[in-house]
Amino acid sequence: MGNAESRMKKRGHREVVVFGRRAVMEALAQDAIDLEGCEVWVVKSVAAGFRSELQQACRRASIDLRVGTPAEVRALSGESGYDQAAAARIRLARVIGVTTYL
């Protein structure tokens, strides 16, 4: 298990996939997200304006933007009917499991 994988297994980190243009942009803007080792994908046929905006957000977060086919982006989202043009796998930092409160 590599460093990134072992950090993901640490208590307080939860990996999630968000998909959709607005959801991905909002996720990249949040302070409570651990962006190290994250993936951001966009469909190559997406409007140039959105791709440019997403590229800027990824640069600010030091993440490479991956451009792919709708099938590749759908594979990340896990949704067969997915057609939102963007998806990101992110880690939520400082998450406390519900069992802590029981």
Q: What is the set of domains in the chain, with CATH numbers?
A: 3-101 (3.30.1330.30)
Tens digit of each residue's pLDDT (9 = 90 or more) over 62-92: 889 999 998 888 888 776 766 678 999 887 7
Cα atoms found within 13 Å of the Cα of residue 5, Cβ hemisphere only = 2
Residue type for 57, please? A
Q: SS in 3 state form for 33-56?
A: EEEEEEEEEEECCCCHHHHHHHHH
pTM as predicted: 0.73
Of 26-30, 49-53, 94-98, the one with minimum mean pLDDT is: 94-98
pLDDT grade, residue 7 (50/70/90)? very low
Over residues 1-8, the mean pLDDT reads: 46
First to last CA, the chain: 31
42: nearest Cα among 31, 29, 53: 53
